[in-house]
Amino acid sequence: MVASLEKIRKPFFIGIAGAGMSAIAQYLQGTGMEVSGSDRFFNEGKAGDIKEKLEAEGIRCFLQDGEGITPGTDLVVASTAIEDTVVEIRKAKELQIPIIRRSELLALIAASKKTIAVGGTSGKSTTTGMLFDILQSGGKHPSVISGAGLVSLIKKGKIGNAFVGTGDWLIIEADESDGSIVQYHPEIGLLLNIEKDHKELEELMQVFGIFKQNSNRFCVNRSNVHSEKLSADPANDFCVSGTCPGAGFQASDFVQNGFHISFKINGHPFDLNLLGRHNMENAVAAATAAAAAGVSLEEAAAALKGYEGIYRRAQVLGQKRDIWVVDDFAHNPVKCAAAIRACQPVSGKVVAWFQPHGYTPTKFLRNEFVEEIGNALRSQDEIWMSEIFYAGGTTTKDISAQDLINDLKTRGKNAFFVEDRNQLLAAAGSHLQPGTTLLLMGARDPSLEQFAKKIYREL
């Protein structure tokens, strides 16, 4: 059992190309450790430019063949996807090197700082990015460990999901999907929302209930029917729709004009170059937690005016032939519906494409996908899906994206299945008329960014 990081100098990450793993690896490298790691995507040539960016930070990268683990390695970090049969796990055990899971390591890091942990079903990465900008602008010099790259950091040649600041504050994403959120004991716990995703609602309520107990101060979204039940102190809570009695931070006057949104928090005006009501909710959450950390609403509003967004979160690739193309990480029912609704004020028609990930998650959320997407689509909008992304491993392939499309068709929606995503433009080209937004959605597949760029080039 690893109790602290004080004596760790040379950690090795198995699965270092993953968003959560690469973030922690960069953070530890930034604190002075000698970090190295491997990934099967390096073996397969599917890691994009992540390897180069990690190496630019001084992190040595290896193929997943065991070569990178040596007697000098003093800690092995494994993502939850790494099985005990992987050659590097076996080698670490042979060399008697301590092995720790990603979430355990993040909990140790969080315990060493004044941490703001951002939890909830949707919006964690965006809210984390907003909080980082607000605290940085407010003179707190924060660190961040995120599940997605901040555009402002990506522009500096970094992966963008980690930064080591000189201050006491650390902002992290607290993931409920694997239950690891219960390991954190943050100074400020921020709960954005609770919806069925990965787990049933009853189990999620228990998990987030422990998150509440472990937080020194707790801020919740009082507009979400599930998260409001976990309120600890209304003065620390926020409200993003209607009125929530006692909530300390109330949003009002939301307006979206194209790719720009404006609103007020307790009467203070906010303006962001983003789209969608869900991004107002993320901003209100970030401003609420920042206030608990000592940054005023005025300072938060000033910081968010220059907020540049998160990688593949409503990322506008551009416009061709009067058709906007937007790339989005949306992958659960609520996120997909929010992404579709966010594009509707931009164009008269939205053509949305979605690649589900994982056969088990898709089957688990089948009814919710159909319900949420179906309710979000206007009569003129369309939803297209390609076959489920399969990352490997053992699973039962007992559902297809076509099943979701057929369900949506029975509800009278404009729903289409194109098995091979490379045939999307050939199949949907005639549906993309001037005045349309093409929204591309999906997650977990590292090739989606390049796919979106390819679609835009060939449009």
Given a contact cutoff of 8 angstroms between Cβ atoms, the answer to whether 48 and 446 are in contact is yes
Task: For residue 294, give the nearest of 139, 421, 402, 436 by alpha carbon.
Answer: 139
Which position has the higher pLDDT, 47 or 141?
141
Cα-based distances in Å from 58 to 15, 28, 39, 62, 410: 17, 11, 16, 13, 54
Question: pLDDT tens for residues 106-154?
Answer: 999 999 999 999 999 999 999 999 999 999 999 999 999 998 999 999 9
Q: What is the mean pLDDT of residues 41-48?
A: 78
Q: What is the mean pLDDT of residues 287-307?
A: 98
Confidence of residue 4 (pLDDT cuts 50, 70, 90): confident
pTM of the model: 0.90
Q: Return the minimum-mean-pLDDT range out of 48-62, 191-205, 257-271.
A: 191-205
Neighbours of 276 (CB within 10 A): 25
Long-range contacts of 427-434 (CB under 8 A, 24+ apart): 427/384, 428/351, 428/353, 428/382, 428/384, 431/351, 431/382, 432/323, 432/351, 432/459, 433/323, 433/349, 434/321, 434/322, 434/323
Rounded distance between C-alpha atoms, residue 118 and residue 63, angstroms: 33
Question: pLDDT tens for residues 73-106?
Answer: 999 999 877 888 899 999 999 999 999 999 899 9
How confident is the model at residue 3, as a pLDDT? 77
Neighbours of 118 (CB within 10 A): 31
Confidence of residue 198 (pLDDT cuts 50, 70, 90): low
The answer on pLDDT for 1 being more than 70 is no
The answer on pLDDT for 356 being more than 90 is yes
Q: What is the mean pLDDT of residues 286-315?
A: 96
68 burial level (CB within 10 Å; 0-12, 13-18, 19+): buried
* Average model confidence (pLDDT) across the chain: 94
The answer on pLDDT for 268 being more than 70 is yes
If DSSP states are collapsed to H, E and C, what string results for the chain? CCCCCCCCCCEEEECCCCHHHHHHHHHHHHCCCCCEEECHHHHHCCCCCHHHHHHHCCCEEECCCCCCCCCCCCEEEECCCCCCCCHHHHHHHHCCCCEEEHHHHHHHHHHCCEEEEEECCCCHHHHHHHHHHHHHHCCCCCEEECCCCEHHHHCCCCCCCEECCCCCEEEEECCCCCCHHHHCCCCEEEECCCCCECECHHHHHHHHHHHHHHCCEEEEECCCCCHHHHCCCHHHCEECCCCCCCCCEEEEEEEEECCEEEEEECCEEEEECCCCHHHHHHHHHHHHHHHHCCCCHHHHHHHHHCCCCECCCCEEEEEECCEEEEEECCCCHHHHHHHHHHHCCCCCEEEEEEECECHHHHHHCHHHHHHHHHHHCCCCCEEEECCCECCCCCCCCCCCHHHHHHHHHHCCCCEEECCCHHHHHHHHHHHCCCCEEEEEEECCCCCHHHHHHHHHHHC
Question: pLDDT tens for residues 380-439?
Answer: 999 999 999 987 777 889 999 999 999 999 999 999 999 999 999 999 999 999 999 999
Confidence of residue 48 (pLDDT cuts 50, 70, 90): confident
If DSSP states are collapsed to H, E and C, what string results for 55-79? HHCCCEEECCCCCCCCCCCCEEEEC
Rounded distance between C-alpha atoms, residue 82 and residue 15, angstroms: 7
Rounded (5°) CA angle 267-273-278: 70
How confident is the model at residue 80, as a pLDDT? 74
Task: For residue 353, give the nearest of 410, 403, 401 by alpha carbon.
Answer: 401
How confident is the model at residue 380, as a pLDDT? 98
